[in-house]
Amino acid sequence: MTMVMKRLILFLAMMIAGVTMSAQATQPQEEDLDAKYATELLKAGAVAPDFTLKDLDGFPVKLSELRGKRVVLVFWASWCPDCRAEVPELKAMYAAADPAKVAFVSVSYDRDFDTLKKYAAENELPGIQLFDPAGKKGSKVGEAYHVKWIPSLYLIDAKGRIELGTVVAAKIADALKQKGATR
C-alpha cells in the first residue's frame, strides 16, 4: 500500500469518526420528566392519603378499600393532551397486570361529568374511573398527593404506602414487572 493510500484511509477513518461523534453530540438527550414535573410528588414509603370519590355510576369508592392489592393511581383529565397520549400505555399496563394483585384507579379533573363519562366509554378506559368535581385547581385529593402536573401516577403497595410517584407511565409499568405484578 502506498503512502498516499494510507493517508487517504486514515483521513477517511478520521472523517467517519468525527461525523459519528458529532451526530452523537447533537442527539437530544432523553429528558427526565420526573426531574421537571414530579419533584413534589409523595416519596416512596409515605402513607398514601385515603380519599373517597364517586365512580362513573355514582357509587363512592374509598381508596383504602383496595388494600391487599397494589394500586396504580392516575391523576388526569380528558382535556389534557399528555394524559390522552398515555391512554394506550395505561391500557397495555392494565392488560398485562394480574387483577388479583393490582387495581387501577384514575382520578379525573374533567370539569364536566358527562364529558368524562363519554370519553371513558369511547376510549374503553381501564380500571376504576373517579370524578373529582373540584377540578385540578380545587382538588383536595390532588393536593394531598402533591399533584402539580397531569398526568401524575403513583404505585401504592398492598399496605397503603407509596412505592413510586412519577409523571411517566412507563416507569409504573416497569415497576409492576419488577414486582411480579404482571401475568
Query: Any idea what the CATH number is for the domain that residue 105 is in?
Result: 3.40.30.10
Q: Is residue 26 very low, low, confident or very high in pLDDT (cuts 50, 70, 90)?
A: very low
The whole-angstrom separation of Cα 8 and Cα 61 is 73
**Cα Rg of the chain, angstroms:** 23
Mean confidence (pLDDT) of the chain: 88
3 within domain boundaries: no
Assigned domain for 2 exists: no
Strand order in the sheet with 102-108: 60-62, 52-55, 128-131, 102-108, 70-76, 152-156, 162-166
In this structure, how many other beta carbons lie within 10 angstroms of the beta carbon of residue 18? 10
Judge whether 16 lies within some domain: no
Q: How many domains does the chain have?
A: 1
Q: Which residue from 148, 141, 160, 178 is spatially nearest to 34, judged by alpha carbons? A: 148
In a domain, 17, yes or no: no
Does 86 fall in a domain? yes
- Regarding pTM above 0.85, the answer is no
Q: Where in the sequence is the domain holding 124, given as residue range(s)?
A: 34-178
pLDDT tens digits for 60-93? 999 999 999 999 999 999 999 999 999 999 999 9
Domain membership flag for residue 25: no
Task: Tell me, yes or no, whether 42 lies in a domain.
Answer: yes
Whether 122 is covered by a domain: the verdict is: yes
Q: Which residues of 44-60 are buried (b: 16+ CB within 10 A; e: fewer)?
A: eeeebbebebeebeeee
Cβ neighbours of residue 144 closer than 8 Å, sequence gap 6 or more: 49, 51
Residue type, 65: E
